Structure 1
Amino acid sequence: MSSGGQMGRSSVAALVVASVLGSVICFHVTASPEGVGEHHDRYNFRFVRHARDAPPVSYYNYIIVGGGTAGCPLAATLSEHSRVLLLERGGLPYGNRNVSSSYHFADALADTSPSSPAQRFVSEDGVVNARARVLGGGSCLNAGFYTRASTGYVRAAGWDARLVNASYRWVEREVVFRPGVPRWQCALREGLLEAGVTPDNGFTLDHLPGTKIGGTIFDRRGSRHTAADLLRKAHPRRLTVFLHATVSRVLFRRSRTSGAPVVAYGVVFTDPLGAQHRVYVRRNRGGGGGGEVILAAGTLGSPQLLMLSGVGPRAHLERHGIRDVVHDNPLVGQGVADNPMNSVFVPSPVPVSLSLVQVVGVTRFGSFIEGVSGSQFGIIPMIHGHRRHSFGMFSPMTGQLGTLPPKQRTPEAMRRAAEVMRRLDRRAFRGGFILEKTLGPMSTGHVELRSTDPAANPAVTFNYFRDPRDVERCARGIQAIERVVASRAFARFTYNNRTTTAATIFRRAAGTPFFPVNLMPRHPGDTRTLQQYCRETVMTIWHYHGGCHVGGVVDKDYRVMGVRGLRVIDSSTFKYSPGTNPQATVMMLGRYMGLRILKERWVSKGKDVKH
């Protein structure tokens, strides 16, 4: 989720608004478009190196594939007592303003260059999406909202609640902040309460029904803090990180003894020059047992790498020429889901400052409501040939044509939509989006190999709204958004659509099928119309998960079933996306499982593992 906004030259200007809403003070916050990333060199990570400098052969206790939201805290934790190698296919987030600055948030998602931190993919459903390709993973690309999973989610996952809370706190001390809340977000908060999304939970990191302000990984200067920052906590002499390292397969050893399990003993990765490097698991000394390979490559990367390594559905693997099937498991890549997002653009008669997600309404019927705003930079990607900062994922630049069904979001449609936007009055781009995310979801799909190239995206099908419960929740969420927009609290930021001004601003958009912005549904009282609106305006919120479910692909300790020495620890193990936004729980899981693995190794030696 993103927006553009009118920025001042000063690093921060926070003016307290006279009214105090409960315990929440509304701020007008602006961040400088330049200079907010100047702190990128604050972490002198001497253990981070380029893959081309890696030796042909090396040995480590733990080999972690994927330096993302789970991989970074996992590597930092394991390095406390073991030699750890972290392999990341992308580069550093520091020094890249598209990552570091909230002002340039949309630019990272719109960047399609080979070096972009976001690798675009289009699902088989036709929805444009992106996967992270940078140290820090999705925490380098998201809108920054931070909220924990519910206590019910923790209980259902079978996690130790005490260790979960300690792991959350470990993350939060490094990367989480309380946001300043600008006027538009305050109006959204009051509008949600007026619309019945109660109680008012104020500021909290907990997942609770009602309306709340959550944490953020953007500090008051608008600078992003990511999972990569957690590597500050690593032991600098026990951790090695190789960037631009693309892992092609996990290496397995078969025992000559009949019936003995297959054991993962290393990986092969390639550097940008095409040279191959092998890394082997080194057995721990002193009776601590053997090391492991751990996949933390995400919802797409982990099932893809399992299949490339011979773990997955035999028939599918053999169709792609993978004859050495290590373990036939038809559940690898199955149960993949993406929480559908639908949005309503609310044009504003007054300028609106930049804000990413800060307020969320957690409804009791299975819908989450959030918002992003920006001023006249708005949603248009090009004006007279000049690039404008934009609501990147809502613009033609990323293919999210909200008035066209997914399968019709073609490059030609994108071009025509951009042309329509260029003809609009610039006041049309003042405002913000109110977003609806569907809980669960109940609709699931799958990840399959498209080729045996590890750098290529696999084929992903999410089956948005296949389950009728999902589309019913979406329709109720849109109705809640309509109540927010009609609320007294939000009146300052909405037009009376009967006014001459509003008619002038939007007259060119009326009736065209290529206007790429969702305004309110034309028949809001008709549930069937709302459900159709949901299907035709579906987008991603980048909360995809599944493909390596606990109980299907991995056991409760995240060990891959059917083999030894291999685990998967990332969002691919989730059956549902935790909380309103999953990044907090993914980072927590990296820390949590790191501590669990250390305890397994050291408890038999009588050593204490500190939390």
Structure 2
Amino acid sequence: MVPGDAAVDYVIVGGGSAGCVLAARLSEDPGVQVALLEAGPPDASVLIRCPAGLAVLAKNGQANWKFGTVPQPGLDGRRGYVPRGKVLGGSSSINAMIYARGHRADYDAWAAERNAGWSFDEVLPYFRRAEHNERGADAFHGTGGPLNVMDLRSPHRFGSIFVEAARQAGYPENRDFNGATQEGVGLYQVTHKAGERFSAAKAYLAPNRQRPNLHVLTGAQATRVLLEGRRATGVAYRQDGQDRTLRARREVILSAGALQSPQLLMLSGVGPAAHLRQHGIPLVHDLPGVGRNLHDHVDVVQVIDAPHLTDLFGLSPRGLVNAFRGILEWRRERKGLLTTNFAEAGGFIRSTPEEPLPDLQLHFVIGKLVDHGRKTVFGHGYSCHVCLLRPKSRGTLALASADPFAAPRIDPNFLQDPDDLRRLVLGFRAMRRILQQPALAGHGGRELAASAAARDDAAIAAFIRSHADTIYHPVGTCRMGGGPLDVVDAELRVHGIEALRVADASIMPGIVAGNTNAPVIMIGEKAADLVRQAANRRRVSASAAQNAITV
């Protein structure tokens, strides 16, 4: 543990997916001191270790920032719910554990926007380096990496039933969404190990906590980056009610996520000048793109009531018996019902045959999911999500006030672009068509009345506006690139500020077509190399300068 007002070589803000990777990789060098600041507690809760605990974590403020959006005109003026991990491991400690990388084209598009080194072929080695895939290594997958990836240990029978229904609807089966082809339906691989959640903290921090040069501070919320002129020199933070500072001899790296990395930049005087003046924050560097380009996977759920299918998750006398048995089985063998990630099956499909790439993703859930699982629903059934993979709508992340402990103002601007709603209507129809195939329909479930009444496009659009929300993948608010609204360059250095980088989902120029946890871990892996390469360049430069003086 470093004392207050101390100095280390690297200060990393945010103990989420990228922050855990950076802390572990940079501290591999025993000659540097690395400090990781996490606002939340350690990841000690059994609800984090047990995969099915995510049902409770959605409501648990101890591990969840529980943010909300501003009212969304595209969602009938409703406020969206934005859970984010407030715990070591960040959102990888509370998510649904799906291992998905997105499409090759996503990364090639990043590289095409003056981001050298970020094409798919160039980032694939980082995905492989991070991964230990229990299926084994091949051209797309690695073994021996920190992050364990596996097939579900005790998959529910209804996941395969969903896959068969999708095949009946004409979609190809795909056993590996992260292989040569993304398109198709199948069972997801998950970040589990031996029946437990395997978060970024479990993968990267836990094996390395005894390193004397790695200092992990929990309950430590950063309040601003310390700047001397236009150079980052450390971080101010609050821990145990005390305001403290931590100096960085080399670099400060923000990995606080797409919502809080830009917030911290603005609190530090780096961001849109007019917005900072509005909140009375002294301007250090006018960087207008900070907080712009917020976008997310907008998603809508169809719920099927099937009270007689009591082996599905549900609140009933039988469901309680199942849960009790599942607890015993998980505690004894780390197997059974509670090893589920709920969204066991799904896939990537095209809204029309003319689409060149999948533009929709499905998540099939083995329970009735209403309002992110926050609403208590009795009985048994199943649900299916459809989300839009490449939304055109763009929103903003702004300060609500100059108080560093106030939640930011989150406006994803869902469905602002009419094409987003058009595609989501097509996706809803495709999802319904799958759920009505014999493999599922033969079990006698019934669509809940709220969506069942939506038959034509106008009614489906109205249902979407009244029920859609995020599926938890905000990105883009510290956009990578060389344009006037970009925040970091291709080495993740903040434009106009020395010794300051951002490494998390906020740097994505465009959202990936899939779940974002694996891509953020890849970003952490690549960022660690970029930091180390910069350190090597400094050493070479210093050595050359010393030799010149000697000569």
Whether the 8 Å contact between 2:110 and 2:119 is mirrored in structure 1 is no
- 2:345 aligns to what? 359
Q: Offset of 1:161 from its aligned partner?
A: 4.5
Structure 1 position 588 matched with structure 2 position 529 = no
For 1:439 and 1:265, the matched residues in 2 are separated by: 38
Query: Does the 8 Å CA contact 1:148/1:585 hold for their aligned counterparts?
Result: yes
1-structure distance, mates of 2:418, 2:449: 22
**Deviations 1:358-411 (Å, cap 9, x if unpaired)?**
32221123211111113xxx56xxxxxxxxxxx672443xxxxxxxxxxxxxxx
SS at match of 1:74: helix
| Residue 459 (structure 1) aligned with residue 409 (structure 2) | yes
Contact 2:346 2:363 in 1 (8 A): yes
Listed one character per residue, the Cα deviations across residues 462-513 of structure 1 (whole Å, up to 9, x for unaligned) are: 111111111111111110111111101113433368xxxxxxxxxxxxxxxx
- Structure 2: distance between partners of 1:313 and 1:603: 32
Q: How does 1:304-323 map to 2 (within 5 A)?
A: 304-322=263-281
8 Å contact from structure 1 (residues 179, 220) kept in 2: no
Tell me if the contact between 2:191 and 2:199 (Cα under 8 Å) persists in the aligned partners.
yes
Aligned to 1:480: 430
Q: 1:523: Cα distance to partner?
A: 3.7
User: In 2 relative to 1, CA 482–162 (structure 1 residues): closer, same or farther, beyond 3 Å?
Assistant: closer
In structure 2, distance between residues paired with 1:371 and 1:360: 5
Correspondence list, 1:18-97, <5 A:
54-81=2-29, 82-94=32-44, 96-97=45-46
2:469: which partner in 1?
539
CA shift, 1:175, in A, is 2.7
Deviation at 1:539, TM superposition (A): 1.9
What aligned pairs does 1:154-169 form with structure 2 within 5 A after superposition?
A: 154-158=107-111, 159=118, 161=120, 164-169=123-128
1:330 to 266, 288, 293: 288
- Across the aligned residues of Structure 1 and Structure 2, the Cα RMSD in angstroms comes to 2.1
Map residues 544-559 of structure 1 onto 2, 5 A cutoff.
544-551=474-481, 552-559=486-493
Could you tell me how far 1:172 is from its partner in structure 2? 2.1
Structure 1 residues 518 and 238, CA gap change in structure 2 (3 angstroms): farther
Q: Does the 8 A contact of 2:20 with 2:89 survive in 1?
A: yes
Equivalent position to 2:55, from 106, 110, 120? 106
Q: Which segments of 5 or more consecutive residues in structure 2 lack a partner in the other structure?
A: 73-78, 112-117, 133-146, 314-339, 352-358, 541-551
Matched, 1:201 2:183: no
* Secondary structure of 2:174 counterpart: strand
> Which residue of 238, 243, 246 corresponds with 1:279?
246
CA contact (8 A) 1:314 1:329 kept: yes
Is residue 2:227 matched to residue 1:252? yes
Matched with 2:511 is 577
> Could you tell me how far apart the structure 2 residues matched to 1:579 and 1:330 are?
27
**How far does residue 520 in structure 1 lie from its aligned partner after superposition?**
3.3
Secondary structure, aligned partner of 1:529: helix
Contact 1:87-1:245 within 8 A present in 2 as well = yes
Structure 2 CA distance, aligned partners of 1:168 and 1:495? Answer: 40
Q: Residues 188 and 219 (structure 1 numbering): CA distance in 2 closer, same or farther, change over 3 Å?
A: farther
Evaluate the alpha carbon distance shift between residue 494 and residue 597 of structure 1 in structure 2; reply closer, same or farther with a 3 A threshold: farther
* Secondary structure of the corresponding residue to residue 104 of structure 1: helix
Tell me the percent identity.
30
The SS at the match of 2:259 is helix
SS at match of 2:415: coil
- TM-score of the pair, normalised by structure 2: 0.81
Classify the secondary structure of the residue corresponding to 1:71. helix
Is the contact between residue 106 and residue 511 of structure 2 (CA under 8 Å) also seen in structure 1? no
Q: Which residue of 2 aligns with 1:133?
A: 86
Aligned: 1:177 with 2:117: no
How much has 1:218 moved relative to structure 2? 3.0
Distance 1:451 1:265 in 2: 24
- Match of 1:361, as an amino acid? G
Distance (whole Å) between structure 2 residues aligned to residue 541 and residue 431 of structure 1: 20
Instruction: Give the unaligned 5+ runs of structure 1.
Output: 1-48, 255-261, 283-290, 380-390, 397-417, 498-516, 607-611
Q: Secondary structure at the match of 2:488?
A: coil
| Separation of aligned partners in 2, 1:347 and 1:335 | 38
CA distance in 2, matches of 1:233, 1:166: 22
Residue-by-residue CA offset, 1:276-306 (whole Å, 9 max, x unaligned)? 2211122xxxxxxxx1111000011101000
Deviation at 1:461, TM superposition (A): 0.7
Which whole-Å CA distance do the structure 1 matches of 2:194 and 2:423 have between them?
35
Aligned mates of 1:519, 1:186 — CA distance in 2: 27
